[in-house]
Amino acid sequence: MNLAGTVVPMATPTRRSRRAVDDTALRKFTRGLVEAGVHGLFPGSSIGEFPSLTAAQNRQVIETVAEVADGRTNVLAGCCDTSVGAVLDKISSAEEAGADAAVVVSPYYLTTTQPGLERFFTTIADQSALPLLLYNIPPLTGNEIGIDLVGDLAEHDNIVGLKDTSGDLNYHYRAVSETPDDFLVFQGATQLATASLGVGTDGLIAGPANVFPRVMTDLYEAYDRGDLVEAQRLMQTVVTPFVGATSDVPTAAALKYLVKLDGLDIGSPLPPLPQLTDEEQTALTAAYRRITDQFDKQTL
C-alpha cells in the first residue's frame, strides 16, 4: 500500500439523544478533511471512541467514510477488539465497506506475553481480508508490542505497518530502523511529530488534524520537502500548544468540543467519557483562539 503523510484518527459524530452515529455530520466532516488534503483517514480510532461503538456502528462509520472519500485518500479502518473472532468480523465488514487496510490494536484487559501477542496478530493476519497495521498504545492496553516482535511480524506478508503511540522516541526509531523499508511506521504521539520525521517515520496519525487538517498536512509536507523552518514553526504555533491544551482532559471529548468551535457540531462524547466542565471548555476555547489568531482562516 502506498501511504505516507498525515492521517486523521477521526472523531465520531454522534447524536446526543440516542447515542447514534450522526451520518449527516459524519459525511460533512469527512468531506472537509478530504478537501483539506489529508493523506489518509482512520475511522474507528481511539479518538473515534471505538470501544463505545457497537459493531454495527463501527461498520456504519467506516462505510460512510469510505463512500465519501471515494478513492481520493486512503481509509485505514479501526478493527480493534479483544478476541480474534471479533477482530476478523470487523475486518470483513471493513473490507466490504471499502476500506484499504485495517488497524488492529494489541488486546487489552487480559495481560499477555510477547508469544501471546504474536499468536494473536499472526492468527488475524493469516485470515484477514485486508492488510494490517499493528497499533501499539501500551498506556491504554497494558500490552506493549515489543520491538523484536514488531520486527518478526513485519515479515508477515499481510502485516504492512505500525501505528506507534507509545510516546517513546527510541522505540519509534528502532521500529523504523529495524524493519524492512516497505514496512510503514506512523507516529501517533503528535508531540513527537517533527522528531519522528527526523528519524524516518512514514507519517503522522495526528489527533490535531481533526481540527487543523491543513496545518497538519502542511507540517508533514514542509518537512518532506526539506523546509524544516516551516515545519518547526507549525510545530511551535499549533501542535505543541494544542497537545498541551488537551492533555488533561479525555482526548475524544476535547476534540469534539474543538471541532464544534471550528464550525461543525459533532456531538458529545459517549459514555463512559465525561462531559467537559465549564472550566475545561473555557480553557480549550482560549487555547483554540490563541492558535487561530496567528493564522488566516483559509490556511487552517
Q: CA dihedral in degrees (4, 68, 93, 260; nearest 10)? A: 80
**Residues facing 163 on adjacent strands:** 135, 186
Please provide the DSSP assignment of 172-185 as one string: HHHHHHTS-TTSEE
Place of cell 505500525: 162
- DSSP reduced 3-state for 219: helix
To 5 degrees, how large is the angle CA 67–CA 72–CA 76? 70
Residues with a known catalytic role = 135, 163
What is the number of alpha carbons within 13 Å of residue 83 lying toward its C-beta?
3
Please answer whether residues 23 and 56 qualify as being in contact, where contact means their C-beta atoms are separated by less than 8 angstroms.
Answer: no
Buried b (16+ CB within 10 A) or exposed e, 176-212: beebeeebbbbbbbbbbbbebbebebbbbbbbbbbbb
